Amino acid sequence: MKYIFLFFTSFLFAQQTKYVDFKSVSGQLSLNPKGKTISGTVDFQFEVLQDIDTISLDAKNMEFSNVKIDEKEIMFINTNKELKLIFPFKKGQNHLTFSYTAKPKQALYFVDMENDEVQIWTQGQGRYTSNWFPSFDDVNEKLIFNLGISYDATYQVVANGILKEKTTKGNLNHWQFQMEKPMSSYLLMMAIGKFDKKEFKSKSKIPLEYFFEPKDADRFEPTYRYSKRIFDFLEKEIGVKYPWKINRQIPVRDFLYAGMENTTSTLFATRYVVDSTGFCDRNYTNVDAHELAHHWFGDLITAESSTHHWLQEGFATYFALLAEKDIYGEDYFYSKLYDTAQQIKFASRTDTIPVLNPKASSLTFYEKGAWALFVLHESIGDKAFKKAIKNYLNKYAYQTVNTQNFFDEIKKVSDFDVENFQKTWLESTAFDTPRANALLSKNKTIEKRLEIDKLKKTPLAEKEAILKKTLESDVYESVKAAVVDQLENEKYEDKKALLLLAMQTNNISVRQNLASSLTKIPEDFRTNYETLLDDKSYQTQEIALYWLWRNFPDHRTAYLDKSKNWIGFNDFNLKTLWLSLALSTPNYSSDQDSLVNELIAFSSTKYEATTRQNALEKLIAFKIINDQVLSNLVGATTHHMWQFSKFGRDTIRLLLKNPEMRASFNRILPNLTPDEQFQLNRLLKE
């Protein structure tokens, strides 16, 4: 054991990357969806820079066999966190091969669907890829990944890089993907599902592949409405050619986040798969641009540590906003900056962690990071800013970077005081409001917005004329929406004329603000409010239907008849609301049982987490609760999406305060799965 102790201690004083440079890896993988396992053979090429007796790979809860260096079996230790290779490694090239199997607890997800189909996808950001593929949690170890994946021939398979070869053997296809440039392990991905795709070419001839489920064919255009335009814009705006050979976008079910910029192949949540009506409330444009910008800022160059995380998230947020500016215009651009400035200022009252800190919040890394870039861009001018960005990307391509690396390039093109800038925008938790307002005021929309916001505490009688003039003007929608916000707590009789003007703008955003803020609807405003049911916005329709149903019991049948065929977004927001309202309206339906069963079905595992939560929220709010509802609620606590599992736990805690509900949960306990029993028992014992 003495020898083993020596190799463990040899790494205490140095990082492995100083001793070993991993060049490339090829993995030939198979997946078992029933067992939710992955297995494969792996082949690493690496160079030993200095003699060393142990090399480690990150590998969580895996089993290994046939571990060989240059075809010779070697001693290894599996700590269930790392694979440690014991060998007197000498300077020079080496070849590592082994086989492995794993049943990942995270990072590789098997999402069951109807008809025994499945979607399989990965999410590695952070340090999670090592749960499904032996790799490196350290972002500074970049290497070329090539994955080969064998799977059912009726499915599409995607991984990083170009598809080099596809072969068929029996009922299996083998897909071989190839990368040419190195990347950090967290960007490794795969996605498997029954997808269709459409193919395009960018202006620079990069292949663009946009995937969709066959059932969503009619949603393809609104979902990807601006995708090619965004690609062409960012390539031109950044000034550096897209650094990879292909770009793909794949929507997957029950994805953990909005999107993820895996190199060459972005995964994104299906909530952004929308039709033209859904587009105005929930479109993919910003997420699309953000994840694509990461292919330069994050994938091409990667922050060397989380202290410099803003170099990825702040940059992706800012360049996504520039792309939206190209699409939606300057008023949209400045309005978004104004809104995020308000969020940052409010958060800074309690958020004491600045941008250059690994524990900074998402708002700080993303939005304040973007604001810092906006200030820098405006301060040194467009020409100098673009030159610095281009030099920065070219100099550090396929490497890791820190903030000083970026500022060094700024100094080469400008005499701007980056030291003071860093203190103000990256090291201070305060928000430089005077500087921000000075920059924002270059836009006439924001000038007007600032003028309106100064009136918040002014009595309505004194500001009514200004508000009226604003609503009647052609000023950008965000200013008119701000006017409506100021009316929320005013007496109805005093604000009625302004409400009517807001309705007459026929602007979806303004009308939606009104729908949300006017929850007590007077009878003499009913017919005006009812027009919201016809707005081309599923979100507005949901708000309006609910509040009309609440306020006017005598008209409930008419509202339900009008909306009975509504579906809404792909999370069935309107359908689940309609079912809950229909069940809560006496004598509306002669077949209550079928409505109950339909609503409960939406809370089952046949649907995505967002749909299930929609249904469960409505079932519980309207007190439509039976054993199946409670079982489906417990099922939420075992889901891989933390937001949904937290909803399940929090809702159960509330219900357990009722002795009858506690008895019901105890009754269903024996019929639950072991994982569900474990979660419910924990909650029962709290």
- Residue 15, pLDDT above cutoff 90: no
- Residue 8, pLDDT above cutoff 90: no
**What confidence score (pLDDT) does residue 12 get?**
40
With both helix axes pointing from N to C terminus, report the angle between 382-395 and 403-413 in degrees, rounded to the nearest 10: 130
Please tell me the distance from the alpha carbon of residue 249 to that of residue 659, in angstroms, as a whole number: 49
Does some domain include residue 103?
Answer: no
Average pLDDT on 246-253 reads 98
Write down which residue in 407, 442, 477 finishes a domain: 442
Please tell me the distance from the alpha carbon of residue 116 to that of residue 453, in angstroms, as a whole number: 54
Q: Angle at the Cα of 651 (from 645 to 655), degrees rounded to 5?
A: 145
Q: Does 205 share its domain with 287?
A: yes
DSSP bridge partners of 178: 162
291, 261 Cβ separation under 8 angstroms: yes
Quick: pLDDT tens for 272-290: 999 999 999 999 999 999 9
What number of other Cβ atoms are within 10 A of residue 23's Cβ? 14
Does some domain include residue 400?
Answer: yes
Q: Does 254 share its domain with 343?
A: no
Q: What is the pTM of this model?
A: 0.95
Quick: pLDDT tens for 186-200: 999 999 999 999 999
Backbone phi, psi, residue 585, to 5°: -110, 110
DSSP bridge partners of 72: 69
If phi > 0 it is left, if psi is from -120 to 50 it is alpha, else beta; for residue 568 that is: left
Does some domain include residue 676?
Answer: no
Does some domain include residue 468?
Answer: no
Burial of 350 (0-12, 13-18, 19+ CB in 10 A): exposed
Q: Does 308 share its domain with 438?
A: yes
Q: Does 319 share its domain with 283?
A: no
pLDDT band at 14 (very low <50, low <70, confident <90, very high): very low
Q: Does 311 share its domain with 423?
A: yes
Which two tokens mark 488? 């929320």
Q: Does 261 share its domain with 320?
A: no
545, 559 Cβ separation under 8 angstroms: yes
638 in helix, strand or coil? coil
Please tell me the distance from the alpha carbon of residue 297 to that of residue 369, in angstroms, as a whole number: 13
**What confidence score (pLDDT) does residue 11 get?**
43
Please tell me the distance from the alpha carbon of residue 574 to that of residue 528, in angstroms, as a whole number: 21
Please tell me the distance from the alpha carbon of residue 85 to that of residue 54, in angstroms, as a whole number: 5
Query: Beta-strand (E) ranges in 341-441?
Result: 399-401
Average pLDDT on 1-16 reads 44
Query: What residue type is assigned to position 48 of the chain?
Result: V
Does some domain include residue 252?
Answer: yes
Does some domain include residue 75?
Answer: no
DSSP bridge partners of 314: none
Please tell me the distance from the alpha carbon of residue 512 to that of residue 299, in angstroms, as a whole number: 38
Range of the domain at 231: 195-294
Q: Does 336 share its domain with 420?
A: yes
Please tell me the distance from the alpha carbon of residue 553 to that of residue 541, in angstroms, as a whole number: 18
Please tell me the distance from the alpha carbon of residue 163 to that of residue 175, in angstroms, as a whole number: 7
Quick: pLDDT tens for 359-410: 999 999 999 999 999 999 999 999 999 999 999 999 999 999 999 999 999 9
- Residue 6, pLDDT above cutoff 50: no
Residue among 239, 358, 241, 240 at smallest CA distance from 310: 358
CATH number, domain at 276? 1.10.390.10
The DSSP secondary-structure symbol of 670 reads G
Residue among 183, 194, 176 at smallest CA distance from 116: 194
Distances (CA, A) of 81 to 57, 350, 354: 9, 37, 32
Average pLDDT on 461-488 reads 97
Does some domain include residue 528?
Answer: no
Average pLDDT on 521-543 reads 98
**What confidence score (pLDDT) does residue 116 get?**
87
**What confidence score (pLDDT) does residue 3 get?**
35
Please tell me the distance from the alpha carbon of residue 109 to that of residue 196, in angstroms, as a whole number: 20
Q: Does 243 share its domain with 307?
A: no
**What confidence score (pLDDT) does residue 572 get?**
97
Q: Does 273 share its domain with 314?
A: no
Instruction: Determine what percent of the chain is predicted with pLDDT higher than 90.
Output: 96
Please tell me the distance from the alpha carbon of residue 647 to that of residue 679, in angstroms, as a whole number: 13
- Residue 2, pLDDT above cutoff 70: no
**What confidence score (pLDDT) does residue 613 get?**
97
Q: Does 395 share its domain with 284?
A: no
43, 22 Cβ separation under 8 angstroms: no
pLDDT band at 16 (very low <50, low <70, confident <90, very high): confident
Query: What residue type is assigned to position 537 of the chain?
Result: S
Does some domain include residue 280?
Answer: yes
576, 615 Cβ separation under 8 angstroms: yes
Instruction: Determine what percent of the chain is predicted with pLDDT higher than 70.
Output: 98
The answer for residues whose C-beta is within 8 angstroms of residue 636's C-beta and 6 or more apart is: 609, 612, 613, 616, 644, 645, 647, 648, 651
533, 545 Cβ separation under 8 angstroms: yes
Quick: pLDDT tens for 94-148: 999 999 999 999 999 999 988 889 999 999 997 899 999 999 999 999 999 999 9
If phi > 0 it is left, if psi is from -120 to 50 it is alpha, else beta; for residue 669 that is: alpha
Residue among 35, 44, 19 at smallest CA distance from 134: 44
Q: Does 306 share its domain with 438?
A: yes
The DSSP secondary-structure symbol of 171 reads T
Write down which residue in 390, 418, 442 finishes a domain: 442
Residue ranges of alpha helices (H) inside 442-506 are 444-453, 460-472, 477-487, 492-504
Please tell me the distance from the alpha carbon of residue 516 to that of residue 249, in angstroms, as a whole number: 34
Query: What residue type is assigned to position 461 of the chain?
Result: A
Which two tokens mark 401? 């970077």
Please tell me the distance from the alpha carbon of residue 448 to that of residue 390, in angstroms, as a whole number: 36
The DSSP secondary-structure symbol of 185 reads G
Write down which residue in 294, 310, 325 finishes a domain: 294
Buried b (16+ CB within 10 A) or exposed e, 454-467: ebeeeebeebbeeb
Q: Domains in the chain: how many in total?
A: 2
**What confidence score (pLDDT) does residue 4 get?**
38
- Residue 615, pLDDT above cutoff 70: yes
Which two tokens mark 527? 């017919």
Burial of 391 (0-12, 13-18, 19+ CB in 10 A): middle
Average pLDDT on 205-215 reads 98
Quick: pLDDT tens for 316-336: 999 999 999 999 999 999 999
Q: Does 290 share its domain with 305?
A: no
Backbone phi, psi, residue 120, to 5°: -125, 130
State whether the Cα torsion 347-349-352-355 is positive or negative. Answer: positive
- Residue 479, pLDDT above cutoff 90: yes
